[in-house]
Amino acid sequence: MSATQHENANNKLDNTDKFGRRGLFRIGGLTAASAAAIVACGTSEAGKTGNIGVGQDTPKLPDPVLNNGVYLRTLAGIELSIAAAYQRMIDDDMLSGASATFPDISDLTPLVEEYATHHTAAAATLNDLAVEQGAERWECGNTRLDSAFIDVVFDRVVNGAAATDAAKAISPSDDPTRDMLNLVHTLESLSAASCQGVVPQVSEPSLRASAVSIGVVSARQAALMALLLNPGGYVSVTDAENALPAETTTTSLAPTPTQNIAEPGQGAEGGGDPAAAAPVLTEIPLPVAIPGQFGSLAAIVYVGGAGDENGVRLKLNFETPSLNSYAYPFDSCAVG
């Protein structure tokens, strides 16, 4: 090999070495070092150090104090919510319209006005008792009952429901009078049950007596409303069937008052006016005057409004006060 050829071969080796793996590593390292130097020489403003894995402090809620004053002003709020609901029905003339479900029902506005007077007076009594127990008066409705139940019913009956991505729009009620009268019965039953439920909770016999006296009136008003809407509906169909004596072929006895109750429309003891038209049976349960042998604290089912695309109506379970609906000492009532 000549000297010139040897020199050319060395040049090729040098070029190969420059662009081989080692050369690329050297170039990459130089680039990274240059970038780091540029960043280090640049100007920046230090920001606030963030928290990693540590959130805001958990707010501490006040202790849920339960005493006589809390129970009493909670009941006062329920009574005021009921009175306000009735006043809204009256102001909006929602009780005088014709009803396809109750075709023979008359305008019950005067009766509901009397009901509202009872609940307003009951709230005043309960607030007076709460003050005697060292609590502040509760001069507005029960916020939980209003927002989660009463307002929902009014909105569904009056406005229906707007369409969503998953469901079609629901029209306003097909029978607003029916829905409002059923709501009256539900609220009267709720008042009676709430007053009954507070009896074992308060510590003084005089408070128990006051609560029961209010609940008795509400229970009677619920029974009257049930009989107006469902003439002869003293008891449920199941209770009526259970009240019937076993069939016998040995002796024929005259109908007893129990049997008359089980057979509505048989004289004064069994349902009053036999000419009263029975309401139309629908998926909305008909109220009865005596829902059970003893006062019940179970949820009171309300069904109303127009059905959705599948025919399903609004269904709510009205319940007596509990931990999420008490008027605690740290709660305040903004009037107006």
**pLDDT 10s digit of each residue in the chain, 336 long?**
555 555 555 555 455 555 455 554 455 555 555 555 555 555 556 666 656 666 677 877 777 789 999 999 999 999 999 999 999 999 999 999 999 999 999 999 999 999 999 999 999 999 999 999 999 999 999 999 999 999 999 999 999 999 999 999 999 999 999 999 999 999 999 999 999 999 999 999 999 999 999 999 999 999 999 999 999 999 987 777 777 776 555 555 454 443 343 444 443 344 445 455 666 667 899 999 999 888 899 999 999 999 999 999 999 999 999 999 999 999 988 654
Under the phi-then-psi rule, with left for phi > 0, alpha for psi from -120 to 50, and beta for the rest, what region is 305? left
Tokens of 284: 């909305």
Under the phi-then-psi rule, with left for phi > 0, alpha for psi from -120 to 50, and beta for the rest, what region is 34? alpha
Length of the chain: 336
The correct CATH number of 68-230+279-318 out of 1.20.1290.10, 1.20.1260.10, 3.40.190.10, 3.90.1170.50 is 1.20.1260.10
Task: Look up the pTM and report it.
Answer: 0.74
Chain position carrying tokens 């009676």: 192
CA distance 327 to 72: 9
Packing angle of the helix pair 68-91, 176-197 (nearest 10 deg): 170
Helix or strand run (H / E) with residue 221: helix 205-229
Closest CA to 65 of 336, 330, 335, 303: 330
SS3 23: helix
How do the domains of the chain map onto residue ranges?
68-230+279-318
Helix or strand run (H / E) with residue 301: strand 300-304
> 161 forms bridges with which residues in the sheet?
170
> 304 forms bridges with which residues in the sheet?
314
CA distance 73 to 83: 15
3-state secondary structure 159-200: HCECCCCCCCCECCCCCHHHHHHHHHHHHHHHHHHHHHHCCC
Residue type, 34: S
SS3 295: coil
Residue 291 — φ and ψ, nearest 5°? -70, -15
SS3 59: coil
